[in-house]
Chains A and B, each alone.
Chain A
């Protein structure tokens, strides 16, 4: 297996700011700056060690700290932003890159669903569409095709929410524990999704620092290495019917229902690994069914068998494939349009450092992270490890 250029890059700093339903005294810029400073400090670096920034609000950090001229990307963040930072470091465009995001003061009209859930596109807006409904159309189709049961969706939601229930940094710390029946008993939002099948809304910031692997070993934290990753996209989110069977002109086997499969195969190929090598699955959990879908899309189980796969403790810490161990978007935080897209990677880094105060997966060496979902027509994948390949 040829070494991949990504393997020259490591995550050396991470930080989550306080996460809350409402963060008093902050706006998106100020909380993003706090996040960036926290990640730089976690790495044992100073702002002057940063020579690259990713993210729209990351520009604010670079100006305030007067660290220009540096490399900058206007990536929409999440795993694509991290892979762009990784590529920039691997190709010498930058040495040490800060990827930061934050959101506060955006969701003020609580009578409506959060603004990032309801784009004003002409083919969705008059039909009352927002993210829960978009993702429900995907889940419903899978339930029709394979007989997937609401109890399987509820098992996912209960498992992830219970991870947040014990996490003191989670917005919904102490709001549990939940049984699958509790999930099924919560009020319906967009059938088959009950309230507790859905992500929350919150405010917060987070950031990561990446640098060259040869520099990483001299820094404060145990480095976490990039093993592989890629992104799968089918078009703009929330403008076109979220059909399970969208796509397939170029690769007939890869429809939207399996978005993330190509990215996962690429990531595993770069790493020389497969699903059975993964110790912890820090998957993106906007809605409960999406975890089931990802286990199928990424090759952990055959198509249509994800519902059975998640039952019986498999996805709990202590099971074979523990999932979203900080509580995820359902219980840890969903800080706006992009913050939570980075937080699965932050949690994976904590897991591989062995530094999780709660729900640590003992001896975790390989973590798989994701972002997106079939209701949004994309899924991004990143594999991380304790050892440089």
Chain B
């Protein structure tokens, strides 16, 4: 059995855009942010200019509880590049406020993932000190 861990190698880092910069600044503070629409109340992720529900531009950032459940998962044995340690488990998380994000699962055995598994966000530094949101079982 292998316990899934945050990556420690020289993995590729995210490069924020004008639109996504507040999201990554939130991660650096240990906050998982999402965008909420002032007009319809809907939530948008990945970071965008337009509300994913009503196309309004009135989006503002809000902190998430960081809790959710696994929507789908895959445990990867052929790494994207040699910088990644295997195995790692990619997940789509249904975050409790009602939005989805892509991440990696950590803190459990590599074959423990299942749809519906309750998870909690946890931030870990990767390349260049970027803080990356991972999820672990709760």
Contact = CB atoms under 8 A, between A and B. Distances in A.
A141 B75 contact: no
Contacts of A242: 92
A140 B115 contact: yes
A188 interface: yes
Contacts of B46: 123, 239-241
A242 B100 CA distance: 10
Nearest to A135: B74
Nearest to B13: A126
A244 B72 contact: yes
Given A123-B46, A133-B90, A241-B101, A128 B74 contact: no
A58 B105 CA distance: 44
Interface residues on A, range: 35 or more
Given A112-B82, A137-B90, A124 B74 contact: no
Given A112-B80, A189-B76, A191-B75, A128 B20 contact: no
B71 to A, nearest CB: 7
A129 B11 contact: no
Contacts of A124: 102
A243 interface: yes
B41 interface: no
Contact of B72 (A132, A141, A188, A239): A141
Contacts of B120: none
A251 to B, nearest CB: 15
B14 interface: yes
A214 interface: no
Interface string B96-124: 00001111100000000001000000000
Interface in A185-208: 187-193, 195
A64 interface: no
A132 B77 CA distance: 11
B63 interface: no
Contacts of A122: 14-17, 20, 24
A126 B12 contact: yes
Contact of B78 (A129, A141, A189, A241): A189
**Which of B53, B71, B76 gathers most chain A CB within 10 Å?**
B76
B102 A140 contact: no
Contacts of A130: 80
Interface of A: 111-113, 118, 120, 122-130, 132-133, 136-138, 140-141, 144, 187-193, 195, 239-244, 249
Given A140-B74, A188-B77, 10 more contacts: A113-B79, A120-B15, A122-B24, A126-B126, A133-B80, A140-B72, A141-B71, A190-B76, A190-B77, A249-B53
28 contacts: A112-B79, A112-B80, A113-B79, A120-B12, A123-B46, A123-B101, A125-B13, A126-B127, A126-B132, A127-B90, A127-B102, A127-B104, A128-B76, A128-B79, A137-B74, A137-B92, A138-B72, A140-B74, A187-B77, A188-B75, A188-B77, A189-B77, A190-B74, A193-B74, A240-B102, A242-B92, A243-B72, A243-B92
Interface of B: 7, 11-17, 20, 24, 46, 52-53, 71-82, 84, 88, 90, 92, 100-104, 115, 126-127, 130, 132
